[in-house]
Amino acid sequence: METERVGIPLLGEKFPDMTVKTTHGILELPKHFAGKWFVLFSHPGDFTPVCTTEFVSFAKKNNEFRKLGSELIGLSIDQVFSHIKWVEWIKENLKTEIPFPVIADDMGNVSKKLGMIHPGKGTNTVRAVFIVDPNGFLRLMVYYPQEIGRNMDEILRALKALQVSDANKVAMPANWPKNELIGDQVIVPPASDVKTAEMRKNQKEYKCYDWWLCYKKLPENRR
């Protein structure tokens, strides 16, 4: 009998099926977001300073995530009643509506399955980010310590980079779309045989520093 693996998942694996209790009711993941990208992010606890600033930032960026065909969903091990009260507090005191659901993982089952409870941090979840594609595959994950708040612009950048990479079968340079060498251009996959490597030196479709480092401009409608 196959046993379920518990711990940090691997990139490229299917996001595990789970039924979760949230501030928007019971949801089935990843089924609830089928056909869409989604970003699941965990926070250590409700009514804490850094987490509160993050929730406000995610809420203010929510429309930008939706423009990329993605949805946000939060998580911590607090009970749903705590989530509801905290969301109300943010709305009343910080004038910010939290538009996305928040998972109440009070039994810790989801956090354990996704490797979000790390040794030395008690029962709190670390600040994890999971980007899942429309087919339910885990495409990116990042873990932050409790003391460091996340950069939502970087999460948006990574999401868009994944989408452009998938659509065009290219790789994305560092700091894309503001790379120091090639700007907003993208990297062509390296040649995998001698013939292609030789052709790369003379073709006009790409620009190359060498046969293994070629890049090109994408049309506006493919970015």
The residue annotated as part of the active site, out of 20, 51, 77, 188, is: 51
**What tokens were used for 68?**
């990329």
Residue 214: its H or E element: strand 213-216
CA-based angle 155:30:135, to the nearest 5?
75
In whole angstroms, what is the distance from residue 167 CA to residue 133 CA?
12
Distance CA(39)–CA(156), nearest Å, equals 10
Alpha-carbon distance 132 to 17, whole Å? 12
- H or E element, residue 28: strand 25-29
- Minimal CA–CA distance to 103: which of 116, 93, 91? 116
- Active-site residue, 51 included: yes
Stated length of the chain: 223
Q: Which residues are catalytic?
A: 51
